[in-house]
Amino acid sequence: MENKIQAAREKLIVALDVASAAEALVLTRQLAPYAGVFKVGMQLFYSAGPEVVRQIKEQGVKVFLDLKLHDIPNTVGQAAKVLAGLGADIINVHAAGGTAMMQAGAQAVKERAAALGIPAPLMIAVTVLTSVDQRIFHQEMGLAGEIEDRVKTWAILTKEAGLDGVVASPRETSIIRQACGKEFAIITPGIRPAWSVSGDQKRIMTPAEAIGQGASYLVVGRPITGSDNPPAAAQKILQEMAEVL
């Protein structure tokens, strides 16, 4: 079981959805024994700045820099080059930006990493946000068809563009895995253990269900960081993940 717990740790990404580097570092130090990757999103990056990436990595963990780049290809390429220089291990863009934009980001991080002599970060594309349900998808976003079909299409486009994987809800994991193969990385937010509340997430699964569907990484935020005892919550999730590995 110890080996399975360690394997589960490498798959667990804790979302540091806090407003300061001090808060982020407290959580990172508490949770580093239980999670191999920590997610720095817009709130933390915009408030604490690029230095927070280096500070978190000094704790011996990886960083998923979740800024969801989405702009013209040249702008995304230049931004991705800067982010790769910070030492981020995972960087993401929006698949909706199209092939040229994704390729510009992927090429930029490879070139920057090679110039610095560091491993290239995984380049991941966001498909459909987990806060979007079918009603929002149709009525507010004006998109036809089923969410699952759009996610599959964008995942295939992402793979063809040369990126390493996608962010998608756990409900689409098995579809993506079948379409894109076992080496394609699938990062799944919308993870809610049975003992937690769903919050603003719509398309959700438990940790065990998501791992069973073939997720590469699980992103968990509030069920851990909002808990009265974050390490105990993380341990509980690791145990649930390990049981199906």
Q: Which of 139, 135, 169, 136 is nearest to 152 (CA)?
A: 169
Identify the H or E element spanning 139: none
* Range with the poorest average pLDDT among 113-117, 147-151, 182-186, 198-202: 198-202
Percent residues over pLDDT 90 in the chain: 83
According to the annotation, is 133 in a ligand binding site? no
pLDDT value for 245 = 86
Residue 203 has pLDDT above 60, yes or no: no
* Contacts of 239 by beta carbon, 8 Å cutoff, 6+ apart: 5
182 is catalytic: no
66 is catalytic: yes
Question: Which string of DSSP letters, residue by residue, matches 76-118?
Answer: HHHHHHHHHHTT-SEEEEEGGG-HHHHHHHHHHHHHHHHHHTS
According to the annotation, is 228 in a ligand binding site? no
Domain that holds residue 181: 2-242
**Tokens 């740790």 — which residue?**
9
pLDDT value for 37 = 98
Q: What is the mean pLDDT of residues 113-141?
A: 93
pLDDT value for 101 = 98
89 is catalytic: no
Q: Of the residues 4, 11, 62, 68, which is catalytic? A: 68
| Domains held by the chain: number | 1
Q: What is the pLDDT of residues 62-106, one digit of tens each?
A: 999 999 999 999 999 999 999 999 999 999 999 999 999 999 999
CATH number at residue 141: 3.20.20.70
According to the annotation, is 56 in a ligand binding site? no
Q: Of the residues 11, 66, 89, 202, which is catalytic? A: 66
**C-alpha radius of gyration, the chain, whole number:** 17
3-state secondary structure of 239: helix
